[in-house]
């Protein structure tokens, strides 16, 4: 399938999903009402529903998905294995830990940027650990285990925080960060995270050509003219920034960064570089659709988006892990 056609198709799907998300909910909006609102018209009530509630929430799901999809695709290319992903590698959990830390020790109250920055710091710390481990070992298993360790550590420290934090700290807050949700997100929330998300994605896209040659291994890639250290730095920084920004919006949402690249890569000759953009778009669409599902599900309390993502994504992860084989060497 053509790269351009795939990207255009997924872009259209993303736009359609966001538009559909604006229609669906307790207040029924017709497509023409919603279109009127989006193009600057509509009744004040409709405008509130779309701009204060549905549109920011749908865009949050789309952006979070795009950040995780691109980070997953790039990390898979860098680490040369299809199981790498911010959630599995513990990057998201450490990022959530950073965010909770800032919240419950009161740093977050000192400035609006503190929360996203703390989430990004947590994400970067974890990404650096993963990248260092990746330099030392070729083993996929080692990396996944390091990720499991980081996730468990982050969860343990969060549990510890519930005991130590000076502010009263409810279990449900921790659950929010660890399970992930885009409920009640507003445009200001998105604007805060947007610059970091954009910077992270820009770094990943700027470095994507190098991901293609890494299929040959780091030594051959260096021989082909890849600046290895720069490549690692760009992907680690890019994935850290994008994942941190995503977590500051929605908490931990796992597995979407595995599923989306796994679906798009075979369509593009298994090239991690070319599958970066479609992975971002597809992951965005998956999360935006899943969030519509969350809103429609007839449950007493709303399901968490991260729970739905894990319910769908974890089995796929197991499936990929079970049938994985390297091509050669």
Partner 1 sequence: MAELRTERLSVAAGARQLVRRASLTFASGEFVALLGPNGAGKTSFVRAALGLIPRSGGSSELAGCDTARLPPAERARRIAYLPQRRPLAWPNRVRDLVALGRFAYGTALGRLGPDDSEAVGRALEACDLGPLANRTADTLSGGELARVHCARVLASEAPLLAVDEPVGALDPRHQHRIMDFIRRFVDGGGGALVVLHDVLLAARYADRVCWMRAGRLLPAEPPREAVTEAAIAENYGMEASVGWSGGTPTIVMRRPLPDPSRNPTQRE
**Cβ 206 to partner 1, closest distance in Å?**
12
Q: Per CB under 8 A, does 241 bind partner 1?
A: no
Cβ distance to partner 1 smaller for residue 151 or 275? 275
Three-class SS state of 230: helix
Whether 319 and 311 have beta carbons less than 8 Å apart is answered as no
Listed ranges 48-56, 89-97, 193-201, 211-219: which one lies at the site for partner 1 (CB under 8 A):
211-219
Q: Does 127 bind partner 1 (CB under 8 A)?
A: no
Q: Report the nearest approach of partner 1 to the CB of residue 72 (Å).
A: 15
Q: Is 285 in the site for partner 1 (CB under 8 A)?
A: no
The residues, any chain, with a CB within 8 Å of residue 32's CB and separated by 6 or more, are none
User: Of the candidates 17, 81, 100, 127, which one interacts with partner 1 according to CB under 8 A?
Assistant: 81
Beta carbon of residue 329, minimum distance to partner 1 (angstroms, whole number):
3
Examine residue 32 and tell whether it contacts partner 1 (CB under 8 A): no
Contact with partner 1 (CB under 8 A) among 92, 181, 212, 243: 212
Which of 31, 269, 293, 315 binds partner 1 (CB under 8 A)? It is 269
**263 forms part of the interface with partner 1 (CB under 8 A):** no
Neighbours of 215 (CB within 10 A): 15
- Which of 223, 222, 244 minimizes the C-alpha distance to 231? 222
CB nearer to partner 1: give 115 or 221: 221
Counting contacts by CB under 8 A, is residue 7 touching partner 1?
no
Q: Which own/partner pairs from 11-16 qualify as long-range (CB within 8 Å, at least 24 positions apart)?
A: 11/281, 13/281, 13/285, 14/62, 14/281, 14/284, 14/285, 14/288
> Residue 272: CB partners within 8 Å, gap ≥ 6?
73, 74, 76, 77, 208, 211, 212, 214, 215, 261, 265
User: Which two three-digit tokens encode residue 295?
Assistant: 């809103």
Distance of CA 178 to the CA centre of its chain: 13
Query: Please, which residue, 300 or 327, has the CB nearer to partner 1?
Result: 327
Report how far Cα 284 is from the mean position of its chain's Cα atoms: 9
Residue whose CB is less far from partner 1, 139 or 186:
139
Task: Give the torsion through C-alpha atoms of 23, 24, 27, 33, to 10 deg.
Answer: 10
Q: Could you give the CA distance from residue 242 to residue 244 in angstroms, rounded to a whole number? A: 5
Q: Applying CB under 8 A, which part among 47-55, 127-135, 206-214, 252-260 lies near partner 1?
A: 206-214
Rule CB under 8 A: which of 176-195 touch partner 1?
A: none
H or E stretch covering 158: helix 140-164
215 scored as a contact of partner 1 (CB under 8 A):
yes
Residue selected from 26, 166, 225, 298 as contacting partner 1 according to rule CB under 8 A? 225
Q: Which residues contact partner 1 by CB under 8 A?
A: 3, 80-81, 138, 209, 212-217, 219-220, 222-227, 265, 268-274, 326-329
């Amino acid at each position: 399938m053509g790269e351009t056609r795939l990207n255009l198709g997924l872009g259209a799907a993303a736009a359609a999903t966001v538009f559909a998300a604006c229609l669906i909910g307790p207040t029924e909006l017709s497509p023409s009402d919603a279109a009127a609102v989006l193009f600057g018209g509509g009744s004040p009530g409709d405008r509130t529903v779309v701009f204060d509630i549905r549109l920011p929430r749908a865009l949050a799901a789309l952006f979070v998905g795009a950040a995780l999809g691109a980070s997953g695709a790039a990390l898979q290319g860098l680490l040369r294995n299809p199981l790498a992903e911010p959630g599995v590698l513990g990057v998201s959990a450490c990022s959530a830990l950073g965010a909770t830390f800032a919240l419950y020790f009161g740093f977050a109250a000192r400035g609006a940027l503190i929360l996203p920055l703390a989430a990004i710091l947590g994400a970067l710390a974890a990404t650096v650990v993963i990248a260092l481990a990746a330099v030392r070992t070729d083993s996929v298993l080692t990396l996944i285990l390091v990720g499991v360790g980081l996730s468990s550590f982050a969860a343990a420290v969060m549990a510890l925080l519930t005991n130590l934090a000076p502010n009263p700290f409810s279990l449900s807050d921790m659950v929010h960060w660890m399970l992930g949700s885009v409920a009640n997100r507003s445009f200001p929330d998105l604007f805060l995270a947007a610059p970091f998300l954009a910077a992270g994605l820009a770094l990943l896209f700027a470095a994507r050509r190098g991901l293609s040659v890494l299929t040959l291994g780091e030594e051959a890639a260096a021989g082909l003219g890849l600046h290895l250290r720069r490549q690692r730095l760009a992907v680690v920084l890019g994935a850290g920034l994008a994942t941190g920004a995503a977590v500051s919006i929605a908490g931990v949402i796992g597995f979407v960064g595995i599923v989306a690249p796994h679906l798009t890569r075979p369509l593009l000759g298994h090239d991690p570089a070319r599958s970066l953009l479609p992975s971002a778009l597809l992951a965005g669409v998956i999360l935006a659709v899943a969030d519509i599902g969350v809103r429609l599900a007839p449950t007493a309390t709303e399901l968490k988006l991260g729970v739905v993502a894990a319910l769908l994504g974890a089995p796929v992860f197991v499936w990929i892990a079970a049938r994985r084989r390297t091509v050669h060497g």
